Structures are given as structure tokens and as C-alpha cells.
């Protein structure tokens, strides 16, 4: 029984290993709009709306330096942003992606 479990685990592990970066491709049919809302002096909130492609979408917010801002990839909102340039890569269900730049002034 233990040998069978090990064999099944080995098979599933080998089948499921895929480099997702190979699957992600640019797609022109995702359209994203951004609303920037001031929440308090010097800090803003960004709300993205994605259309096209195939939902659900994942949102990867990061600073111009490449530093990740949010680890909740299911949310289209990020809070507490200071002045500067930010980016968000939106990935749809079929691994199509669209990257946008957001500048807070």
C-alpha cells in the first residue's frame, strides 16, 4: 500500500510540474482601466477594472523597482500608495497577460 502511494505521488508530481512562465503570453484582448483615489494626505488607492480575456483575473502589483506590493493576487485594489510609478500585470484564466503603468502624482 505504501509503495502504491509513493508511485501515485511520483506520477502526479511529474505530471503537474510545468513552468508557468512558458504558458503566459501577451494578449491584446485584455483592456484595463485604473481609478486612483486619494485616501488620505499623500496616500492613494488604485482600483483596476479588467475586461476582455477570460476571468477570473490575477493582479500582480509592484513598484518600479520590481518590489512586490501585494501578495493577494485575487484583488484588483491596492491601498497606501505614495507618489511614484507603479505597475500591475493582469493575468487571465488562459494565462494571457497585460501589464499597465500607474503613475500617482
- pLDDT, tens only, 3-16: 434 433 333 343 44
Q: What is the pTM of this model?
A: 0.72
Protein fold of 23-104: Immunoglobulin-like (2.60.40)
Per DSSP, the residues of 48-103 read EEEESS-S--EEEEEETTS-B--S-TT-SEEEEE-SEEEEEEEE-TTSEEEEEEEE
Instruction: Please report the pLDDT score of residue 5 as a whole number.
Output: 41
23-37, 47-61, 80-94, range with the lowest pLDDT: 23-37
Domain boundaries, the chain: 23-104
Percent of the chain past pLDDT 90, that is, above it, reads 61
Amino acid at each position: 500500500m505504501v509503495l502504491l502511494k509513493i508511485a501515485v505521488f511520483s506520477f502526479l508530481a511529474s505530471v503537474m510540474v510545468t513552468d508557468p512562465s512558458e504558458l503566459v503570453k501577451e494578449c491584446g484582448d485584455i483592456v484595463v482601466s485604473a481609478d486612483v483615489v486619494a485616501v488620505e494626505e499623500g496616500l492613494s488607492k488604485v482600483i483596476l477594472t479588467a475586461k476582455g480575456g477570460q476571468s477570473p483575473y490575477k493582479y500582480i502589483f509592484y513598484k518600479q523597482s520590481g518590489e512586490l506590493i501585494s501578495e493577494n493576487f485575487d484583488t484588483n485594489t491596492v491601498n497606501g500608495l505614495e507618489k511614484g510609478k507603479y505597475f500591475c500585470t493582469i493575468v487571465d484564466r488562459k494565462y494571457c497577460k497585460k501589464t499597465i503603468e500607474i503613475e500617482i502624482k
